[in-house]
Amino acid sequence: MPLKIIICGSGIAGLSAAGFLRAKHQVTILERGTLDFTINDYGISIVSNSFNLLQKAGINAGNLDMVVMTHVWTRTPENEELKTTHFDTRARFGGAPSILVKRAKLQEELMRFATSHEFDGAPAEIVQNTKVTKVNTAAGKVWTKDGRLFEGDLIIGADGIHSVVRGAILGNQEISASVKTYDMLAFMTQISVEDLRLNPGFDYLSNPTAEAGLASAHASSGPQVNKHILVYATSPYSLQIVGYAPEREFSERFESAKTAIIKDIPSEIVAEELAPDFGEAFVNLFRHNQIDAWRIRDVVALDNWYTGKALLIGDAAHAVTPLAGQGSNMAIEDAEALGYLLRIVDSPDAVPDTLREFMSLRKDRVDFVRRRSHEIGGFQTEREKNEEPITSEEFARKIYTYQGAEKALSG
């Protein structure tokens, strides 16, 4: 008999899990809000390790409005060329492409994966405007703010960095206790390709349908060595601009508002922060559209992601800082692994052993990504500082060549 699975959250982790699990099981997704694929429509990288899994599952790349990543341009703070690296995972690793895409486009296609009759199994049911407030991990019960009760053989916490399910798994501790912040934020804005072409010196980025990728410039002087700017395509028509800088006065604003995103930051404030370290070419990219400030956070490494009938995946289990570009990719890998391991499970009695196998398969790999992300940002723990640094080549070989749970278990 199929398991009755309740997924809390319909982000990338939740929708991916529903897509991979629905072929064999009955899936219900509880979403706290209303699904709107135009909100927070920022760009992300879906690298070959996870895009390969989505391609095999039948995701339609034509629905994504994506570009294929082929280059990394390393620039000086004045936007002068330092190095151009060809980054085409198809050629380099003989596998899937790596893509740059808007999160909303990916989520929309993942919703089709979870709910369309084109895929195997019964479509997942998505219950919107249903905020989870309490979870009984032993009984497999979930209560919502409006008083409803949902019961399942397995409860999957895909409810993000402030996961209610994680609080229950950790013994109903304060959810924020496992969230770690750093003295870093990201100023985020977007720009059209047409507007970029009006800015001198960015010809190398102005034709993303032919050569798409990421431009990176690090501050070359001063004590804030973590200041850097990234520019990358998010579609054939648009790019995203990210400026990493210390939190400064934003720290109190994040805390008082109890939020990780502050919208509508005046461009003058961003320019004041970045101009001492970067030339006008990069600073002026922040003068075109709305700017948001995103707080850099992660979840402290957990020893365990499951208890009873409840399991964490994605950011709920192992949110990482964005610096290694693998947060969403690890969530998709989690979903595929869970679908693979549960494909032959037809009794709730077999779930505990499957969750143990899932944990043993996923934890070391996610911790590897966390350590690399900490190294890039200068956030290492004392233990991480004593370990041999991970080279970019070592990281690429281990992460980008991933072929899914079946091969990982056999290898």
Over 70: is that where the pLDDT of 282 sits?
Answer: yes
Does the domain formed by 4-51+103-178+301-410 have CATH 3.40.50.300?
Answer: no
Mean of per-residue pLDDT scores for the chain: 94
Which pLDDT score is estimated for 403?
95
Over 70: is that where the pLDDT of 223 sits?
Answer: no
Which pLDDT score is estimated for 225?
54
Which pLDDT score is estimated for 93?
83
Average pLDDT value for residue range 261-279: 95
Residue 383 has which token pair? Answer: 């233990």
Residue 393 has which token pair? Answer: 């080549």
Over 50: is that where the pLDDT of 224 sits?
Answer: no
pLDDT in tens, 57-115: 999 999 999 999 999 999 999 999 999 999 999 988 878 999 999 999 999 999 999 99
Question: b/e for 123-153, b at 16 or more Cβ within 10 A?
Answer: ebebeeebebeebbbeebbbebeeeeebebb
Over 90: is that where the pLDDT of 121 sits?
Answer: yes
Angstrom distances, CA of residue 91 to CA of 69, 192, 213, 345: 12, 29, 15, 37
pLDDT in tens, 77-91: 999 999 999 999 998
Report the percentage of the chain scoring pLDDT > 90.
91
What ranges do the domains of the chain cover? 4-51+103-178+301-410
Find the Cα–Cα–Cα–Cα dihedral 371, 310, 343, 329, rounded to 10°.
Answer: -30
pTM, two decimals, is: 0.96
Report the percentage of the chain scoring pLDDT > 70.
98
Over 70: is that where the pLDDT of 222 sits?
Answer: no
Within 13 Å of residue 124, how many CA atoms lie on the same side as its CB?
30
